[in-house]
Amino acid sequence: MFETLTRGFTSAREKLGGVRELNDENVDQSLRDVRMSLLEADVDLAIVKDFLARVKERALGSKVETRVRDASGRRIKVTPGQHFVKCCEEELVALMGPVDPTLTHEGGVTSLMLVGLQGVGKTTVAAKLARHLQKDKKKPLLVAADVHRPAAVQQLQQLGARIDVPVHAAEPGTSAPDICREALNRVRSGGFDAVIYDTAGRLAIDAELMEELHQIRTATEPANIVLVCDALMGRDAVNVAAAFNEQLPIDSLILTKLDGDARGGAALAAKAVTGVPIKFLGTGESIDRLEPFRPEGLASRILGMGDIVGLVRDFEEVVDEKEAEEDAERLLKGQFGLDDLLKQMRTIQKMGPLREVFSKLPMFGGMADQVDEGELKSVEALIHSMTPGERLSPEIIDKSRASRIAKGSGHRSKDVFGLVERFGQMREMMSSLGSPDGLLSKMGLGGIGDGFDPAGMLAAGAGGPAVGLGRRSTERKRTQQKSKRKAARKARKKNRKR
Ligand SMILES: Nc1nc2c(ncn2[C@@H]2O[C@H](COP(=O)(O)OP(=O)(O)O)[C@@H](O)[C@H]2O)c(=O)[nH]1
Ligand SMILES: [Mg+2]
């Protein structure tokens, strides 16, 4: 997602790294990189030109405040490069927003009619939205109104069954508008407070499709007509959206398949071209891969600066709060084993593909490309080959245990010791963080159990899969490791009998 754009903005920012002040020349030079990446991301040229002009005007037009007060009232220095990034951020937000994320209700019912070309992801989105509404304590009904493909009804029924949402389908031969009309009656009589109509698509917009959609709209008067677009279509997705909107006014857009799209141009340009806001993004095939569209978070991610709000939200989705709190408490006392690490790695994986999770982390945003899922897998395999005792106290792993674990997991003994060592460092770091005179107490987060915020901690990067990803260690660390290795050898000797 957005890798192309992030690359352009990052190199623009780097170009301004050493400059003393912004001027026509150095801003133009930086904007050249941005321009390239916008075009590569398949954003329409007219929009690119307009965007660049706005950024330039903002960057040069306002006097650069070299000192501002931060949130805590301290005066901090702002470099010209940072000022430029701020201008880009504000213009990106203006380009993509504003968005009102709520879905419209009418008479207590949230009704959504999904329209769009064939294969863009309407049926998938229907199920994702039903799930979203369900989490919002709503009782939705899904309506299979795609009568042109028999498999479409079955597809929606399967998805509905998975999330426990009823699907309204009719006898073969019933027209789509009739199905929707029946469904609306069922909503009223069946105590539903949300309804999602999954309509048919075609390969291109044609008169027949539009006629059917108009009839469904008349029959159901949905509060939200949502056009589903495929991000992989790039600029074409936006053009189709504009054409659709001319024939059947739409209220909002949902952009799908962002996960497979490195360009992200459609997300950037859709609002500017169609005047219609994007409300959600589809970021994967599974039902939980639906993100509310937040221009601020996306702008920040595009600029390679992460998206903490999005990350915390993802985290809250996958984690049991009470359990996380208890885990964090143990963690900060240094009382945890490799099983806990495994559990945390799984939690993070539930938050989505690793590189996507990383792109939301402020310090790692620009590094998301380099994230190595394979490395996590190999850590998992290593831990799986260990006995419960070894997982709890990895320091008992000696040469012969290591070679057994290595064989069992298809690795080398070296990898086993590497993992044990990095784990030991992590455990030490956590317990020093959490000790009574540790960093967290100094930051006023002392009384862990009460009011402790594990999500915040994860966001700060403390609870992440540090072990799996810490291979690029610095010289200093390496020296520390050497002396630790010595100590570990001693400890192993002592523990051999355990
Ligand atoms: N990778 C990815 N695939 C998606 C996404 N949304 C839908 N798909 C896939 O796109 C294909 C078409 O989706 P479908 O919902 O049947 O499209 P429809 O014809 O518009 O109803 C299916 O294989 C879906 O699994 C998404 O956000 N990401
Ligand atoms: Mg469909």
Tell me if 390 CB under 6 Å of ligand 1.
Answer: no
Look at residue 402 in the predicted model and tell me its pLDDT.
96
Look at residue 460 in the predicted model and tell me its pLDDT.
37
Tell me if 119 CB under 6 Å of ligand 1.
Answer: yes
Fill in the DSSP letter of residue 231: G
- The helix or strand, by DSSP H or E, that contains position 495, with its residue range, turns out to be helix 475-495
Q: Mark whether 485 and 340 lie in a shared domain.
A: yes
Cα angle 45, 203, 209; round to 5: 110
Residue 114 maps to which CATH number?
3.40.50.300
Q: Mark whether 295 and 326 lie in a shared domain.
A: no
Nearest CA to 379 out of 462, 479, 318, 470 is that of: 470
- How many whole angstroms from 7 Cα to the centroid of ligand 1? 27
Tell me if 154 CB under 6 Å of ligand 1.
Answer: no
262: number of CA atoms within 13 Å, CB side? 9
- How many whole angstroms from 198 Cα to the centroid of ligand 2? 7
Q: Mark whether 363 and 414 lie in a shared domain.
A: yes
Q: Please give the mean pLDDT across all residues of the chain.
A: 83
Look at residue 492 in the predicted model and tell me its pLDDT.
63
Range of the domain at 58: 3-96
Q: Mark whether 237 and 260 lie in a shared domain.
A: yes
Residue 74 maps to which CATH number?
1.20.120.140
Cβ–Cβ < 8 Å for 90, 58: yes
Residues 6+ apart with CB under 8 A from 453: none
Tell me if 256 CB under 6 Å of ligand 1.
Answer: yes
In the listed set 262, 290, 305, which residue is the last one of a domain according to the structure? 305
Cβ–Cβ < 8 Å for 359, 365: yes
Residues 6+ apart with CB under 8 A from 80: 16, 19, 20, 21, 22, 64
SS3 64: coil
Tell me if 13 CB under 6 Å of ligand 1.
Answer: no
Q: Mark whether 293 and 342 lie in a shared domain.
A: no
Q: Mark whether 335 and 470 lie in a shared domain.
A: yes
Tell me if 264 CB under 6 Å of ligand 1.
Answer: no
In the listed set 263, 290, 305, which residue is the last one of a domain according to the structure? 305
Return d(Cα 177, Cα 247) in angstroms, integer.
Answer: 18
In the listed set 70, 96, 122, which residue is the last one of a domain according to the structure? 96
Return d(Cα 366, Cα 356) in angstroms, integer.
Answer: 11
Fill in the DSSP letter of residue 292: E
- How many whole angstroms from 173 Cα to the centroid of ligand 1? 26
Return d(Cα 418, Cα 467) in angstroms, integer.
Answer: 9
Look at residue 367 in the predicted model and tell me its pLDDT.
62
Read off the pTM: 0.70
- How many whole angstroms from 121 Cα to the centroid of ligand 1? 4
Q: For helices 308-318 and 338-350, give the axis angle rounded to 10 degrees.
A: 110
- How many whole angstroms from 146 Cα to the centroid of ligand 1? 15
Residue 463 maps to which CATH number?
1.10.260.30
- How many whole angstroms from 122 Cα to the centroid of ligand 2? 5
Q: How far is CA 148 from CA 172, 209, 261, in A?
A: 10, 11, 29
- How many whole angstroms from 146 Cα to the centroid of ligand 2? 7
| Regions of the chain where pLDDT drops below 50 | 444-477, 497
Q: Mark whether 56 and 116 lie in a shared domain.
A: no
Percentage of the chain beyond pLDDT 70 is: 81
Tell me if 201 CB under 6 Å of ligand 1.
Answer: yes
Cβ–Cβ < 8 Å for 381, 473: no
Provide the Cα torsion 333, 337, 340, 346; round to 10°. Answer: 140
What pLDDT digit, counting tens, does each position of 79-119 carry? 888 889 889 999 999 999 899 888 888 778 999 999 999 99
Look at residue 178 in the predicted model and tell me its pLDDT.
96
Nearest ligand 1 atom to alpha carbon 118:
19
Q: Mark whether 214 and 343 lie in a shared domain.
A: no
Q: Mark whether 348 and 406 lie in a shared domain.
A: yes
Q: Mark whether 297 and 347 lie in a shared domain.
A: no
Q: Mark whether 90 and 112 lie in a shared domain.
A: no
Tell me if 1 CB under 6 Å of ligand 1.
Answer: no
Structure tokens at 436: 């009574």
Nearest ligand 1 atom to alpha carbon 124:
15
Q: Mark whether 82 and 109 lie in a shared domain.
A: no
Which residue's alpha carbon is at the smallest distance from atom 10 of ligand 1? 121
Count of the separate structural domains present in the chain: 3
Tell me if 295 CB under 6 Å of ligand 1.
Answer: no
